[in-house]
Structure 1
Amino acid sequence: MTPPAFPAVLRDELQHGLTALGLDAAALTPPLLAYLALLDRWNRTYNLTAIRDPREMVTRHLLDSLAMHRYVVDSGTLADLGTGPGLPGIPLAIAKPQLRVTLVESNGKKARFLREAVRTLGLANARVAESRAEALDEPGAYDAITARALDVLAGIIGVGGHLLKADGRLLAMKGVEPTEEIAALPAGWTVQALHRLAVPGLAGERHLVVVGRAA
């Protein structure tokens, strides 16, 4: 895959960030830049994300999505709910080729972009489900679900909890520690872990909340 012609500083920032996250920068930089180029091109017409600057996308989209990689299994099934332009699902699918990722998105133009991205990037381990999460008729099909900016924890469980296997986990990306959201989890669900994430180049707080069914 020939990397697109982004400025060297952008490429360097991505590589340094991937290395800081403990990922293989040499292997992942070309496909991630190819995804970024496609997103940047489509975004000019379809307004897929409010972030317009590719350098800002490196930090706030690519590295932010991959900051959770240590807590995502290398294989199995994951549904990314309300994935938008594929975040964090596409970066995770690129970084973990044995992980089977379903990109769940109800917005038609975003779903079209996702299908083009999966095709262009050759992501054999990713598929697009053009659907609302609550309408996805795949009960108990997933080892994990994730959501980056979809809803509060209770809301994510409400629309996507049915997709999880009995021992499946919600991996919810949040900013500051969501104390009130944790306290408002529905009966039968509990926080299994809370991880503070370090996103290279990002000053704000990021947390990953791991939620599962109570024993």
Structure 2
Amino acid sequence: MNAERRELEAGARALGVSLVPETADRMCRLLDLLEKWNRAYNLTAVRERMAMCARHLLDSLTLVPRLHSGPLLDVGSGGGFPGLVLALHSPARQVTLLDSNSKKTRFLTQCRLELGLDNMQVVHARVEDWQGGPFPQITSRAFASLADMVPMTAHLLAPYGQHLAMKGPEATAEVAGLPAGWDVFEDSRVAVPGVDAERRILRIERSTVDSTGETGD
């Protein structure tokens, strides 16, 4: 665990993210839970713990500088990335993790209990069916194409809210398929320590919003 913690803390510093000792400890405990549950539930194809640290924990932390202080919704949370990591990092922020896979929500619920995440809610539902929010920010990683994800979650996003989509090289093609009324206001390449693959963060918002909260023409 000492090597993992050193890599986690060094990687977070490289990303400009501060980790208090208690948070670093809880993130290492998350790796324990992920490794244990992965044997039965196949939560991630990544099996090696140091790789989990880089490709899941540090990758999720790249969103921290872009987060507001309000509640956050993570759609298609899967094994908990990025939502679970963001809830660990910011215990004062309310984070809702939404996924339609019952095995994964059971894992997330167990993490909530064992890691003492009172600020995290786990919802087992299809994103298009769930009625919650609205949320000022919605995060997603490897959930769906932008053409599908944006309209599926529009009813959960506040009028002036933001989608924060974590993508790879496919982002360029997906942006071209964005529905009318939505624009990309940020498309940043991020370097994740220990990860060679291309990582991009897209901030997507409604193009214009009138006083009723509906998108203008």
Distance 1:31 1:59 in 2: 16
**Structure 1 residues 50, 177: closer, same or farther in 2, change over 3 A?**
closer
Deviation string, structure 1 residues 37-56 (Cα, Å, up to 9, x no partner): 11111111221111111111
Deviation at 1:180, TM superposition (A): 2.0
Gaps of at least 5 residues in structure 1 are 1-5
Aligned-partner SS, 2:94: strand
Task: Establish whether residue 116 from structure 1 lines up as the match of residue 145 from structure 2.
Answer: no
- Give the counterpart of 1:167 among 143, 153, 160: 160
Distance 2:109 2:126 in 1: 16
Distance 2:24 2:149 in 1: 31
Aligned-partner SS, 1:35: helix
Aligned-partner SS, 1:12: helix
Partner letter of residue 136 of structure 1?
W
Distance 1:15 1:53 in 2: 18
Gaps of at least 5 residues in structure 2 are 209-217
Equivalent residue number for residue 11 of structure 1:
5
Equivalent residue number for residue 137 of structure 2:
144
Aligned-partner SS, 1:99: coil
Task: Establish whether residue 72 from structure 1 lines up as the match of residue 67 from structure 2.
Answer: yes
Q: Which runs of 4+ in 1 moved over 4 A?
A: none
Instruction: Give the fraction of aligned pairs with identical amino acids, expressed as a percent.
Output: 43
Deviation string, structure 1 residues 70-115 (Cα, Å, up to 9, x no partner): 1112x21111111001100011111122221110011111111111
Task: Establish whether residue 43 from structure 1 lines up as the match of residue 64 from structure 2.
Answer: no
Aligned-partner SS, 1:112: helix
8 A contact 1:177–1:207 mirrored in 2: no
1:1-215 map, 5 Å: 6=1, 8-27=2-21, 28-73=23-68, 75-138=69-132, 140-176=133-169, 178-215=171-208
Q: TM-score, normalised by structure 1?
A: 0.92
Distance 1:198 1:67 in 2: 9
Distance 1:150 1:142 in 2: 18
8 A contact 1:194–1:210 mirrored in 2: yes
Deviation at 1:126, TM superposition (A): 0.6
Deviation string, structure 1 residues 15-71 (Cα, Å, up to 9, x no partner): 211121222344331011111111111111221111111111001000011112111
Partner letter of residue 55 of structure 1?
M
Q: TM-score, normalised by structure 2?
A: 0.91
